[in-house]
Structures are given as C-alpha cells and as structure tokens.
Amino acid sequence: MKRLEATLERRTLRAPAKGVITSVDLHAGEYADPANPIATLTEIDPLRVDVYLPAEAYPKIAVGAHAKITPKEPANDPRDAEVITKDPQIDASSGLFLVQHRLPIPDGAIPAVRCAVRFQE
C-alpha cells in the first residue's frame, strides 16, 4: 500500500501558487514532456494591475511606490497596491508607459476588472 501511495504521490502535480487554471494543454493519458506546459495557472492573489500613464508622470513614479486601486463594480472599495515594475521606455507613438502594481486580495473578492488608480504622495 505504501509503495502505491508513493507512486501516486510522485505522479501528482501541485500548483506553485494559488490560482485558477485558465487552459489545459495536456489531458489524461497524454505524454508529459518537461519542456512543454501541461496547463496554464493564473494567479489570483495577488492580482497584477497594469496601468498606462502619460509621459509627464514618468519622473513621479518609482518602483516601491504605493497607490490606491479602486476596482469598478462589483467591489469598489479602494485597496493599497505597490508598484512592482516601471517600463524603462516611453512608447513614442502613444506617449504612454506601463506601470505594474501588485494588489493583494487575500479574500478573493475582486475579479480581474477595470479599475481607477490614485498614486499616493
């Protein structure tokens, strides 16, 4: 019995993070190659919030800065987020640059939706 349990444990896949499977690339009975994905797991805590800002805001934003993220419906309570990346280049055609935030949602109350951002001074 212990040998069978050990074999089953060796063949059990565990997700590296809490999330939702958004696509399945392999199904039961198919050969799993370490170089190819089996499934895509979308992490739901924390959410990554992408914000595009105008070039004028570039000098005012720094990695580690904090912002208030207010999701649109259904949950519109402002939550604290942290800037995790700032694009090193400004897009010439649009005049915008990308800032990514980490938004913790331990209660899982916020789906991935549009939101408003207010940077803290």
φ/ψ of 56, rounded to 5, equals: -60, -25
Q: Is the pTM of this model over 0.75?
A: no
Q: What is the pLDDT of residue 41?
A: 86
For residue 45, give Cα distances in angstroms to 13, 51, 54. Answer: 20, 18, 28
**pLDDT surpassing 90 at residue 63:** yes
Q: Which of 58, 49, 64 is nearest to 120 (CA)?
A: 64
CATH number at residue 113: 2.40.30.170
The Cα 121–Cα 108 span in angstroms is 28
**Tally of domains in the chain:** 2
Partners of 39 in the β-ladder: 24
Q: Are residues 26 and 61 in the same domain?
A: no
Q: What is the pLDDT of residue 89?
A: 93
79-101: pLDDT as tens digits? 899 999 999 999 999 999 999 99
Q: Are residues 52 and 110 in the same domain?
A: yes
Q: Are residues 103 and 51 in the same domain?
A: yes
Q: Are residues 114 and 58 in the same domain?
A: yes
Domain that holds residue 39: 2-43
Q: Are residues 19 and 67 in the same domain?
A: no
